[in-house]
Structure 1
Amino acid sequence: MSKIWIIIQREFLHRVTKKSFIVLTILMPFIIAATVFVPVWLSMVKSDVPQKVVVIDDTGKYLPQFRNNESYSFVPALKMEPEFRSDTTDVSAVVMITDDLIQHPEAATIYSRKEVPKGLSRLVNEVLNEQIRHDKLERYDIPQLEDIMSDFETSYSVRTVKWADDGTASESNSLVAMMSGMILTFLIYMFIMAYGGMVMQSVMEEKTNRIVELIISSVKPFQLMIGKIIGIGLVGILQLCIWGVMLFVILGVTGTAFGYSALQSPDMTGAMMEASASPVSDDTTSLLAALYNMDFLKLGAFFVLNFIGGYLIYASIFAAIAASVNEQEDSQQFMLPVTLLLVFAMYAAIASADNPDGPLAVWCSMIPLTSPVVMMVRLSFDAPMWQLILSLCILYGTALGLIWTAGKIYRVGILMYGKKPSLKEMFRWILYK
């Protein structure tokens, strides 16, 4: 046991003292927090000077529908002027309508010196479509048409509230749940590939340099393999813990700056009243309220447990592959199926976001080779606790079996040079006593 501990210490200290580890550990929480709050902040930032858009309406009925906003200022004109096309003009675009759009749908065009912004194109289409609908309804000579249209076009968005086990209510949002699940899914995928790759690289370096021949004169091959897996895994756990603490602080500080720290209160009425006093839009209020009402402790705990289980499975596979080959190029034939499994798990997780309790999501969250990735999506949608626990039991049981199997391959392959073993031969290594 003392020898395994020495190997663990060596692998752990060798990596945590690297500058790349320190820099990535410090910067990543800020990058993750930025993906959450920067879009919110950008949605609040508007241009000080709206872009000038000229509207040439030969019919006269579409021009009054264009109203200025914070992004665009619509200016009427009688005809197309040469200066509109000049590089020195302050006109960003020209909307030209030459005829009735019901009779001639091709009569409207947006001209610009560069690609027309999607926001402007969407706004113009909305204005024109609204007038077209109005004109079509006018043909039916409906009394009080303006009042009917105003009432008809009022949109409604239902509020979503989630009950906790103790009966308290909290604001929920499917978009927040999906995004948090996808972020956790991507992190699991990234960590498994990164730290599993570290195990593979470490084994191949020692085997290529023949250092392993000296090492196993003092320790058993299985001790060396398990020491590497645990040591590198502890590096990942340390990094996760640091990121968790930093993210908690960053989200708390940023949330307070946005005025949403009180949204975790179980009193939904008071929370929403406080949120409504914020200058941020109602949609942003709902998103941030749902974000701060999430069970971060549960998400963090199951994230770490799934990471450890997934890492043990794939790290043992990577260690067995590295011990069986002599060159980096030789590992590609074995790495391809493993990589495809993780890619399939990612696609299954993305598909499961729309139906987290569907057959694909449930089965892929139970299969140990895909469950660490897929379960992160279901976790954010409150998957049943018994399924979470069953998935972990299957995951760790499979991990122990694969570690034992990888150890059998590792003890033979680590000292084999100059020969590419076949899968049949590797299976025989497992049966050796």
Structure 2
Amino acid sequence: MNKTLLIIRREYLARVKKKSFVLMTFLVPGLILAMYGGIYLIAKNSDAMNKVRQIRVIDESGVFSAKLKDHKNIRFSTSAQTLPEAKTAAKKDNDLFVLFIPKNYTDKNSIQIFSEKKPNFALIDEIEKQVNTIATGNNMVSAGIDLQKIATLKTNISAETKQLTNDGEKDSNLTSAYGIGVASAILIYLSLFIYGSQVMRGVIEEKTNRVIEVIVSSVKPFQLMLGKILGVGLVGLTQFLLWIVLSTTITNVAEKAFNQDEVRTEQSSNPSQKNIDKNSIKSAQMPIGNPVMGFLNTLKGINYVYILGCFIFYFLSGYLLYSALFAAVGSAVDSETETQQFMFPITLPLLFTYILSFAFLVNNPDSTLAFWLSIIPFTAPIAMMVRIPFGVPDWQLALSMVLMVAGFIFTTWVAARIYRVGVLMYGKKTSYKELAKWFFYKE
């Protein structure tokens, strides 16, 4: 046991003291802050950054030209030019578009947009929306329907989601659940590959340098493998915890900075409001459409302790499960280029679940497929972390955790039997048949 602890200590300190570890630990939260700032500046100046698109309207029907309204960076103007003349002008100006509306505008594909370059979806969507609204209103007037009366009857209803719990009602926080689920899937997927690969590379490096022959003379192969796995795992856990602490701090600082900036903007636009009390500054919020503040506000009311505890468990258990297999692969080959034939079958369940987490699991966290993926140890680290923000029954979480523990104990045992032989094998092409022989070799 003391020898295993020495190996853990050596692997941990050797990696934590590296400049790359310190750099990445502080660089990632800094990048998060830069991302928030970039999104905020883009959202704040999005209208100024977009080019103004000039839409020349040739309206043969006489229904639309006077009713089309300018919108953000889109400017409508009625043109007296013929269609060929307007097309010629559009060829010379990248920001000029020609909207042609014939008399029979109700026919399919009769309304056309001409331009030198392809229009974006936002421009097409705005034109189609306004044209359809005007055409519908014109049809209603023709049918003798009072548009003003219809306008007074219109409603804008939005549903607020509430979750029923033993402690009463609380906000469902669907946006934050979706974001945390996706973020957890990405972090687990990347971490298992990054830190698992570090174990594999370490084994290959020691094997090719023949250092392993000296080490196993005083340490059992299983102790060596377990020490490397736990040492690198603790490095990953340390880095994640530091990221979480630094990112949380940066997020709070960013939220206050964005709020104060908005207060200053409101003051400059309303000079009469020179004095705003501290409570107003604290409660000030960005416009609803601002993506940064929208994201930050959805994080409120989240049970971070519960989610963080589950994340740490599934990171460690998933890491132990996969890194043991990575160590076995590293012991079976002489170079990293030979690992591909063994890596793909091992990582396929992880990749399969990662893809499904975006395409299916976040939209169907309570489905039968989601349940089984969160129970099977090879897929549970990603699948369960996607489901947890949406709420998982306690018995399912307990069952998944028990199977995860059993899973990494089993894979560690299997990997250790391969590792004890493969780590001393050199210059021999390894196959699955050879791995099976190593597994059944007696001590």
Query: Which is further off, 342-351 or 238-247?
Result: 342-351
Match of residue 267 from structure 2: none
Matches within 5 A, 1:112-191: 112-139=115-142, 141-148=143-150, 151-152=153-154, 154-163=155-164, 165-167=166-168, 169-170=170-171, 172-191=172-191
8 Å Cα contact 2:222/2:420 also seen in 1: yes
Match of residue 192 from structure 1: 192
Return the match for 1:278 from 282, 285, 302.
Answer: 285
CA distance in 2, matches of 1:45, 1:362: 44
Residue 373 of structure 1 aligns with an amino acid whose one-letter code is: I
8 Å Cα contact 1:196/1:315 also seen in 2: yes
Give the length in aligned residue pairs. 416
8 Å Cα contact 2:52/2:95 also seen in 1: no
Unaligned runs of 5+ residues in structure 2 are 261-279
Cα displacement (A) at 1:37: 7.2
Match of residue 405 from structure 1: 414
State the Cα RMSD in Å. Answer: 2.8
Query: 1:94-149, CA deviations, whole angstroms, 9 ceiling, x for partnerless residues?
Result: 322233311x333322222322122111100111122233344445x243244326
Query: 1:355-408, CA deviations, whole angstroms, 9 ceiling, x for partnerless residues?
Result: 101001111000000000111110111212332222112111211121122112
8 Å Cα contact 2:213/2:424 also seen in 1: yes
8 Å Cα contact 1:84/1:91 also seen in 2: no
SS in 1 for 2:103: coil
Query: Which is further off, 20-29 or 181-190?
Result: 20-29
8 Å Cα contact 2:60/2:102 also seen in 1: yes
Query: Which is further off, 280-289 or 54-63?
Result: 280-289
CA distance in 2, matches of 1:98, 1:155: 34
8 Å Cα contact 1:184/1:377 also seen in 2: yes
Residue 299 of structure 2 aligns with an amino acid whose one-letter code is: L
Unaligned runs of 5+ residues in structure 1 are 261-272
Matches within 5 A, 1:282-361: 288-350=296-358, 351-361=360-370
The answer to whether the aligner puts 1:225 opposite 2:237 as a matched pair is: no
Alignment CA distance shift 1:240-1:57 (3 Å): same
SS in 2 for 1:169: strand
Match of residue 67 from structure 1: 69
Match of residue 29 from structure 1: 29
Residue 391 of structure 2 aligns with an amino acid whose one-letter code is: D
8 Å Cα contact 1:99/1:107 also seen in 2: no
8 Å Cα contact 1:54/1:91 also seen in 2: no
Match of residue 378 from structure 1: 387
- Amino-acid identity (%): 34
Alignment CA distance shift 1:216-1:90 (3 Å): closer
8 Å Cα contact 1:56/1:96 also seen in 2: yes
CA distance in 2, matches of 1:169, 1:258: 27
CA distance in 2, matches of 1:181, 1:82: 49
Cα displacement (A) at 1:67: 1.4
Matches within 5 A, 1:193-212: 193-212=193-212
CA distance in 2, matches of 1:279, 1:116: 30
Query: 1:243-270, CA deviations, whole angstroms, 9 ceiling, x for partnerless residues?
Result: 000111011112223449xxxxxxxxxx
Residue 379 of structure 1 aligns with an amino acid whose one-letter code is: I
Cα displacement (A) at 1:218: 2.0
CA distance in 2, matches of 1:160, 1:38: 31
8 Å Cα contact 1:341/1:370 also seen in 2: yes
Match of residue 110 from structure 2: 107
Alignment CA distance shift 1:135-1:69 (3 Å): closer
Match of residue 56 from structure 1: 58
Residue 237 of structure 2 aligns with an amino acid whose one-letter code is: I
Cα displacement (A) at 1:235: 0.9
Match of residue 269 from structure 1: none
Q: What TM-score results when the alignment is normalised by the length of structure 1? A: 0.87
Residue 54 of structure 1 aligns with an amino acid whose one-letter code is: R
